[in-house]
């Protein structure tokens, strides 16, 4: 391979339109991190096994390491950077901070987005529903308990204004 060809792609990320020229083989994960500077999205395997790279596409959890940007034109992509608005953290982010649900913080963006997709669909999930929803996102630090508790805390505060 010599210098890679680039193709034009239009992505809508965190509510903003972006027009980019990227090599067509680059995954959404790579484009977010390397071409858009959105390094909040992490990688753990780049094989679709750990969900560390999870983002939301049209509000649903999506593995950015297995997604091609050209397939996602016209879709609404949300990364962890899009969770807070106008400098205000999302209730899930506040609850994660308050309860120590982020230890190393590496799986945290995907964990938060996956939890957000759950709460958007089911604002008061049972413990079992939380465990089920987060089962695909691996965390090696916390033992998951504080994460469950943080999701429950955020859910219990639904409707109260964000900090």
**How many angstroms separate the CA atoms of 68 and 91, rounded?**
30
Residues 6+ apart with CB under 8 A from 151: 92, 95, 115, 118, 119, 125, 130, 134
Residues from 63 through 82 that contact another protein (CB under 8 A):
79-81
Q: List CB contacts of 138: < 8 A, sequence separation 6 or more.
A: 44, 50, 51, 52, 107
Of 25-54, binders to another protein (CB under 8 A) are 25, 33-34, 39-47, 49-50, 52
Residue 46 exposed, middle or buried by CB count within 10 Å (0-12, 13-18, 19+): middle
> Which of the stretches 9-17, 66-74, 116-124, 125-133 binds another protein when contact is defined by CB under 8 A?
125-133
Does 104 bind another protein (CB under 8 A)? Our answer is yes
With the C-alpha atoms ordered 9, 61, 46, 97, is the resulting torsion angle positive or negative?
Answer: positive
> Applying CB under 8 A, what is the total number of residues that bind another protein?
59
- Distance of closest approach, residue 7 Cβ to another protein, in angstroms: 15
Q: What's the min distance (Å) between Cβ of 132 and another protein? A: 7
**Cβ of residue 72: shortest distance to another protein, in angstroms?**
20
Q: Is residue 109 part of the contact set for another protein (CB under 8 A)? A: yes
**Stretch in the footprint of another protein (CB under 8 A) among 8-16, 89-97, 116-124, 152-160:** 89-97
Using rule CB under 8 A, residue 147 touches another protein: yes
The Cα–Cα gap between 28 and 5 comes to 17
Interatomic CA distance for residues 43 and 50, integer angstroms: 9
Give the residues lining the site for another protein (CB under 8 A). Answer: 1-4, 25, 33-34, 39-47, 49-50, 52, 79-81, 83-84, 89, 93-94, 96-100, 102-109, 112, 130-132, 134-148
């Amino acid at each position: 391979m010599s210098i890679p060809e680039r193709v034009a792609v239009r992505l809508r990320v965190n509510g903003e339109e972006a027009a980019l020229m990227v090599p067509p083989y680059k995954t959404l994960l790579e484009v977010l991190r390397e071409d858009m500077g959105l390094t909040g999205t992490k990688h753990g395997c780049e094989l679709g096994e750990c969900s560390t790279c999870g983002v939301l596409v049209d509000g649903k959890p999506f593995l950015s390491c297995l997604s091609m940007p050209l397939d996602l034109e016209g879709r609404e992509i949300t990364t962890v950077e899009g969770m807070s608005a106008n400098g205000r953290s999302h209730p899930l982010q506040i609850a994660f901070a308050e309860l120590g649900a982020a230890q190393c913080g590496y799986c945290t963006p995907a964990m938060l987005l996956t939890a957000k997709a759950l709460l958007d669909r089911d604002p008061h999930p049972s413990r079992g529903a939380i465990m089920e929803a987060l089962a695909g996102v691996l965390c090696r630090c916390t033992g998951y308990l504080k994460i469950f508790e943080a999701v429950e805390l955020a859910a219990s505060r639904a409707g109260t204004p964000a900090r």
